[in-house]
Amino acid sequence: MSLYQLQKFLFDINRDPATQRQYRDGLDALLERYDLTDEERGAIATRDLGLIYVLGANGQLVMHYAAFLGVPWPEYIAALRAGIVKYGQVRAGVYTMTTRLDEKVAGV
């Protein structure tokens, strides 16, 4: 159920300018709206895209969130790989990683 809440946060912030302003004005107050685990809250607070990915958030939500954060594409891909190295394979959902860690599929 909590993964649903994590994804709901991503859904809201990716599409809603008011939520984006709240994110910048005070993250703690914004996150009060979601029933998150400490791990999920920490992943958002530290901008740990790799952990958000490993927790099972839909890749499209993670990708658009990274765009909102201004993370360039090669760094985004590197962050997800780093997440796999640190936390292990994706724990839920359909966006599991199927390529090797050293396999730069598209050159990044």
Partner 1 sequence: MSLVFAGICSHAPGITGRAALADPALSGPFYEAFRGMGAALEAARPDALVVVAAEHFANFFMNNMPSFAVGMADRYEGPIEDPAWLGIARTQVPGNARLSGRLIREMMQSVDLAFAEEWKFDHGIMVPLNFLTPRYDLPIVPVNINCQGPPLAPLQRVWAFGEALRRAADALPERIALVGTGGISHWPATPDSGKVNVAWDLEFLDRWQANDRAALLSYTDLDTYRDGGQGGFEIRTFVSIAAAAKGKGAVQHYRPIPIFSVGCTIGTMSIGS
Single out the residue of 25, 46, 88, 106 in contact with partner 1 (rule: CB under 8 A): 106
51 binds partner 1 (CB under 8 A): no
* CA–CA gap between residue 34 and residue 17 (Å, rounded): 18
* Helix, strand, coil fractions of the chain, as percent rounded to 5: 65, 0, 35
**DSSP class of 33:** T
Q: How far is the CB of 107 from partner 1 (least distance, A)?
A: 7
Report residue 35 as tokens: 């029933």
99 binds partner 1 (CB under 8 A): yes
87 binds partner 1 (CB under 8 A): no
User: How wide is the angle at C-alpha 25 spanned by C-alphas 19 and 28, nearest 5°?
Assistant: 80
Cβ closest to partner 1, residue 41 vs residue 71: 71
List interacting residues with partner 1 (CB under 8 A): 4, 7-8, 10-11, 14-15, 53, 58-64, 67-68, 70, 73, 77, 80-81, 84, 94-95, 97-99, 101, 105-108
